[in-house]
């Protein structure tokens, strides 16, 4: 069973629909017991970092998420929350990844970054069967910096972490559930980890 963490951020339904198309069994939950006992955990979301962290705190999920040992995938704001810190309202995040989340702020760069962009430097089994240069869908104004945990890179004004991984934790800044066959393959790969 897959636990999709519910903490009042957008995007839960489209992630659930993507899992349903793959025939995966899932539950949308904020129950610590259900999250801990799941085979895999998804932390999706669309929203603002400090509000999202406040919702996780209110539901008693900060330490629950940090303690997980099964595969965990953060999506969009979910991956940002797994990082150390976000510039968005100077937010301390979960600290799983040692990345800083920074706002796109180059002159002339349209923000939010919205639409299709390519992936390079693909690493880990999360990207099995996905080619260098594959296109994925983004809607974001902030993104994790590059570091040793970076497993895919996208350039938008400058390179940023399109995906990161450390131990059993993975995250994508792009939306796999909106990224057509590439996103579907990535979710299939995650379900096999």
> Active-site positions?
76, 175, 177
Contact yes or no for 48/7 (Cβ under 8 A): no
- What's the CA gap between 105 and 55, in Å, rounded? 27
How many degrees, rounded to 5, is the angle at CA 100 between CA 97 and CA 101?
105
Name residues whose C-beta falls within 8 Å of residue 181's C-beta, 6 or more positions apart in sequence: none
Instruction: Report the distance separating Cα 71 and Cα 49, nearest Å.
Output: 22
């Amino acid at each position: 069973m897959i636990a999709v963490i519910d903490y009042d951020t957008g995007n839960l339904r489209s992630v659930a629909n993507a899992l349903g198309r793959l025939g995966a069994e899932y539950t949308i939950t904020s129950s610590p017991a259900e999250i801990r006992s799941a085979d895999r955990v998804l932390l999706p979301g669309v929203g603002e970092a400090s509000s999202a962290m406040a919702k996780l705190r209110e539901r008693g999920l900060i330490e629950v998420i940090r303690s997980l040992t099964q595969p965990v995938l953060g999506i969009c704001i979910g991956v940002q929350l797994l990082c150390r810190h976000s510039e968005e309202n100077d937010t301390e995040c979960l600290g799983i990844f040692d990345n800083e989340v920074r706002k796109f702020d180059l002159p002339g760069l349209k923000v939010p970054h919205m639409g299709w962009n390519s992936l390079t430097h693909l690493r880990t089994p999360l990207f099995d069967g996905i080619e260098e240069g594959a296109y994925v869908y983004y809607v974001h104004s902030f993104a994790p910096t590059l570091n040793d945990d970076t497993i895919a890179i996208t350039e938008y004004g400058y390179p940023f972490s399109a995906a990161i991984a450390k131990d059993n934790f993975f995250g994508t800044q792009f939306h796999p559930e909106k990224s057509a066959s590439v996103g579907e393959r990535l979710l299939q790969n995650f379900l096999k980890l």
